Structure 1
């Protein structure tokens, strides 16, 4: 059985027609004066899902989070949590916690008291508060730091304190707004996996806002790619990456090469396209792709082969000159300039420590790929 990308767990309630969404945005619009931040958006998220809102600044993703938390009210439309309408429900009465990028820890309180703050505000009994704080400290592996103040902690440790405080009240839903943006790259990568493990252990529903594509791809069960207040595509990381539904999604997620042209024939499930860069492309035909239509062929750099010798096939092969080379340790990136002037990116896995007779600058090389390695897009 083939799958679009590897999946970290067999959790797919969205594929079950009888499953009820845990969070439902129904025809939600949010305007600030003349500006429409969210435009007639409908979207469903399921219980225990790790769901990411991904998009550029100003696309409406944080506004969605703030409406769910109760800090903003929709101009029109409805939002439901666990089947209950949220209209008119104040933030403190929603079973929702929100974790901000700044962490917003109390500087005068130690770690244990920061975690306990919300529990005490709710009037939880003293012994129960102490027990819950101990549980949270153990969960985020900060037991030995319980008496330290926030300024005595590293960025990653402060992030874990904020996370522990957010989940201590056992919210039905945890909202995270760019929670890892303040961390360095290595620590951010480590924390991503900690968040995933924590979410599964607690069985909570996480919704995260991020503009970092790699972060969303790493942690999410599903991703909603947003643009100008609307959701352009929702799917698993593999679906978003391998089967984007538009050029916008293909270009926004990862690196991609895009060839423009016209479909000349469709036969036996394959489409023939004459690319404007002067070579023929054969690709798996998508539904609705017909001869005579204008189209784009999108292919990821790692799906493109680089060779000195001309491939045997007449299609899906084009010659060019090596324009740039970047050695990234695990990968080598080749930027190859075609005779048309277009620059195509190909990445090669460095599976061996030493390379015999490596391809160099200004060499003439051939780029080639299989028909099922890319996708045809009509828009």
Structure 2
């Protein structure tokens, strides 16, 4: 499938059939006892220099997958390969990877520079080289002025940078990050996302990050793997995940979505008609996963919908209801429209003008309309 929207940079080795994966999970299963399967017969490829995000709800297996790559867990079956090498039996300290934990795990009695130097000393690196490497890391994460401070004297964002510098100091081929921004406040988290992206590109490393934050994944990733119940449901660029989800779970997990459940009643070439449960018919543009008949869901993002007091004369797809809720967000206004059968439709509109004449308000009747290519058909 062609890319739907640009990605951060001109970088798409997964689209090249001659490119070999740098990290490869082959039919990997991880069970804890006889009752719990955290990862279920999973196969996944990650490429060198990729910023790859494992995204999913709590308990979906994403952290277990990361820990198997780091060597902290061993697969029950299957293989994990890095740069062609089977990692079976290779202990964590002998793998060319480093892991940055959510808690940061800094030594409270050590200064910033000693925390960064710790792993290098453990490896027996000469003192002069350690000093040079530590100074390089301090400069990289912009903490030169804080080298002698202890962790408790730093802000949350600064402690996060120390942990990052310590993980990078050993120059791993792969950096594993488990919810690295979870302890930061919203503004700092957003700033740090871009810093991580810039740092990853500057160093040319492969980053594999675990998160349950959709916005975080959409901002940073070259590609996202959406996981549930130990399986990967879709692997694609952020734009493809958002605009062309391959299942109801992915569509509902990423952002807000409206889904009109119904039946495909007609298919002609690249178009079709779907009749929803209320009897309303919609004309849609078909994707490659569409079937000629059977049940399906038409998924439409809130920003793809238009809300008006009257039905637009040229509207192909339209349905009316009552304005049930309104949330003014400054740049956006969010509407909940209650249909006559009780369903709630979500609409978001951009506030591009300072004044709005005859604005819709609570309990007004209104129409929602959308173009045939605004939605995606979900058959599973």
TM-score by length of 1: 0.98
- Looking at structure 1, the residues matched to 335 and 369 of structure 2 have their Cα atoms a distance apart, in angstroms, of 13
- Aligned-pair CA distance for 1:247: 0.3
**Partner residue, 2:216:** 215
**Partner residue, 1:23:** 23
Verify the 8 A CA contact 2:291 2:379 in the aligned structure 1: no
**Partner residue, 1:359:** 360
Verify the 8 A CA contact 1:263 1:272 in the aligned structure 2: yes
**Partner residue, 1:171:** 172
**Partner residue, 2:253:** 252
Look up the SS of the partner of 1:372 in the other structure: coil
**Partner residue, 1:267:** 268
- Looking at structure 1, the residues matched to 132 and 168 of structure 2 have their Cα atoms a distance apart, in angstroms, of 14
- Looking at structure 1, the residues matched to 255 and 208 of structure 2 have their Cα atoms a distance apart, in angstroms, of 21
CA gap 1:288/1:199 in 2 versus in 1, 3 angstroms = closer
- Looking at structure 1, the residues matched to 123 and 255 of structure 2 have their Cα atoms a distance apart, in angstroms, of 44
**Partner residue, 1:11:** 11
Look up the SS of the partner of 1:187 in the other structure: helix
Deviating above 3 A after TM superposition, structure 1's stretches of 4 or more consecutive aligned residues are none
- Looking at structure 2, the residues matched to 345 and 373 of structure 1 have their Cα atoms a distance apart, in angstroms, of 14
- Aligned-pair CA distance for 1:313: 4.2
Verify the 8 A CA contact 2:226 2:234 in the aligned structure 1: yes
- Looking at structure 1, the residues matched to 24 and 243 of structure 2 have their Cα atoms a distance apart, in angstroms, of 27
**Partner residue, 1:204:** 205
Verify the 8 A CA contact 1:271 1:285 in the aligned structure 2: yes
Point out the more displaced range, 76-85 or 305-314: 305-314
CA gap 1:314/1:48 in 2 versus in 1, 3 angstroms = closer
- Aligned-pair CA distance for 1:206: 0.3
- Aligned-pair CA distance for 1:315: 3.7
**Partner residue, 1:124:** 125
Gaps of 5+ in 1: none
- Looking at structure 2, the residues matched to 87 and 29 of structure 1 have their Cα atoms a distance apart, in angstroms, of 13
**Partner residue, 1:320:** 321
Deviations 1:16-57 (A, max 9, x none): 000010000000000001211100000000000000000111
Gaps of 5+ in 2: none
Deviations 1:252-272 (A, max 9, x none): 000000001111111131011
What is the total number of aligned residue pairs between the two structures?
378
Q: CA RMSD in A?
A: 1.1
Verify the 8 A CA contact 2:60 2:228 in the aligned structure 1: yes
TM-score by length of 2: 0.98
